[in-house]
């Protein structure tokens, strides 16, 4: 299984403006590898992930391609996405799992329904065991689940159709550090079993624990692609360097300024107003070079 995203762009039309949520995204992800897409909140990471599943509202225009082997997810009709892709080819671990569970049904009932809809013979207990849950945990309602249990139920639901690709959207939001570590370890285990794992996160420490590859997004664009080891050893884009320097374990220095509004992206390099290396050359938008960096001064 291979996911190849080629020129993916997403635009939302709102009264009086167009939101440039994702612009010309390009990357590849193969089975057995984990790609973490990182960046500040609001840069387009989650929108890009939801575009792969067709989970966007009606005021959106999606262009480009997202090939899952020979299937173009962008061009696929809703019937194909619903019956062949969601849950079967791509399993989604949503942000804030407890909020996505039906509050008046037990975890067992929701797992059983998912398995039934996907035509799987596996029992909820067996599926829960794969996700690190005890059988008695399944008889609880969502409000009775701890953050860690809710996360494991979400993992179990994502695994129900035995999909080759797992998409985890901000899987560590609202979790304390021990639960973050446990969640990342579980996603790494899925990857080591041969699945491809795509993680959307702003938690660089979590990404460092699990990722094989890193894609950095800023203001709707991927500005750096790199193997994880090389990225954390020495990022090449000034924005990526600023993200790492902001970590408490590093320099603990925030990036000055604010990201631009996605309805009013500047010409040229969008990071130019915040970049210490900016020159007049940055008035022209840099393309991604052969080394995987979109910067004139990388």
pLDDT tens digit string along 81-91? Answer: 999 999 999 99
- Domain-embedded: residue 76: yes
The encoded tokens of residue 46 equal 């989650």
229 and 36 Cβ atoms separated by less than 8 Å: no
Both tokens of residue 174? Answer: 């609202």
Q: For residue 155, how far is the Cα from the chain centroid?
A: 15
Read off the pLDDT of each residue in 108-118 and give the average, rounded to a whole number. 94
Of the pLDDT bands very low, low, confident and very high (cuts 50, 70, 90), residue 224 is very high
Question: Does any domain span residue 53?
Answer: yes
Q: Which residues contact 297 (CB under 8 A, 6 or more apart)?
A: 238, 277, 279, 281, 282
108 falls in which pLDDT band (50, 70, 90)? Answer: very high
pLDDT tens digit string along 46-61?
999 999 999 999 999 9
176 band by pLDDT with thresholds 50, 70 and 90: confident
In a domain, 83, yes or no: yes
The boundaries of the domain holding residue 6 are: 2-89+163-283
For the chain, the domain total comes to 1
- For residue range 4-15, list pLDDT tens digits in order: 999 999 999 999
For range 206-225, the mean pLDDT: 97
Task: Please report, rounded to a whole number, the percentage of residues in the chain having pLDDT higher than 90.
Answer: 80
Percent of the chain at pLDDT > 70 equals 100
Q: Is residue 181 part of a domain?
A: yes
Q: Tokens 């809703």 — which residue?
A: 78
For residues 286 and 294, the answer to whether their CB atoms sit within 8 Å is yes
**Can you give the CATH number for the domain in which 67 is found?**
3.40.50.300
Q: Is the per-residue pLDDT at 98 higher than 80?
A: no
Has residue 58 been placed in a domain? Answer: yes
Average pLDDT, the chain: 93
- At 139-159, the pLDDT tens digits run 999 999 988 888 889 989 998
pLDDT at 160: 92
Q: Is residue 259 part of a domain?
A: yes
- The count of C-alpha atoms lying within 13 angstroms of the C-alpha of 199, restricted to the half-sphere facing its C-beta, is 35
**Has residue 217 been placed in a domain?**
yes
pLDDT band at 186 (very low <50, low <70, confident <90, very high): confident
Residue 82 inside a domain? The answer is yes
Predicted local distance difference test score (pLDDT) of residue 212: 98
Cα-only R_g, the chain: 20
Beta strands in the chain (DSSP E): 2-14, 17-30, 34-38, 60-68, 71-72, 90-93, 165-169, 196-201, 213-218, 221-227
Distance CA 81, CA 73 (A): 8
């Amino acid at each position: 299984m291979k996911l190849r995203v080629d020129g993916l762009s997403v635009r939302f039309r709102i009264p009086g403006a167009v939101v440039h949520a994702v612009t010309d995204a390009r990357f590849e992800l193969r089975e057995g590898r984990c790609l973490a897409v990182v960046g500040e909140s609001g840069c387009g990471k989650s929108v890009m992930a939801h575009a792969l599943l067709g989970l966007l509202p009606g005021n959106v225009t999606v262009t480009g391609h997202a090939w899952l082997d020979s299937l173009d997810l962008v061009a696929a009709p809703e019937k194909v996405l619903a019956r062949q892709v969601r849950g079967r080819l791509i399993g989604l671990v949503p942000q804030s799992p407890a909020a996505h569970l039906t509050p008046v049904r037990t975890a067992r009932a929701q797992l059983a329904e998912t398995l039934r809809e996907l035509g799987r013979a596996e029992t909820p207990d067996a599926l829960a065991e794969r996700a690190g849950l005890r059988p008695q945990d399944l008889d609880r309602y969502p409000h009775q689940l701890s953050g860690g249990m809710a996360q494991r139920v979400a993992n179990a639901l994502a695994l129900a159709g035995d999909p080759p690709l797992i998409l985890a959207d901000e899987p560590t939001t609202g979790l304390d550090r021990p639960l973050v570590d446990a969640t990342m370890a579980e996603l790494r285990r899925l990857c080591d079993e041969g699945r491809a794992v795509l993680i959307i996160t702003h938690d660089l420490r979590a990404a460092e624990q699990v990722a094989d590859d890193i894609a950095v997004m800023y203001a709707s664009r991927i500005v750096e692609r790199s193997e994880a080891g090389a990225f954390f050893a020495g990022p090449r884009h000034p924005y990526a360097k600023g993200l790492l320097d902001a970590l408490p374990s590093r320099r603990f220095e925030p990036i000055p300024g604010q990201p631009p509004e996605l309805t009013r992206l500047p010409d040229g390099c969008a990071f130019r107003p915040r970049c210490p290396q900016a020159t007049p050359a940055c008035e022209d938008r840099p393309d991604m070079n052969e080394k995987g960096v979109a910067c004139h001064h990388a």
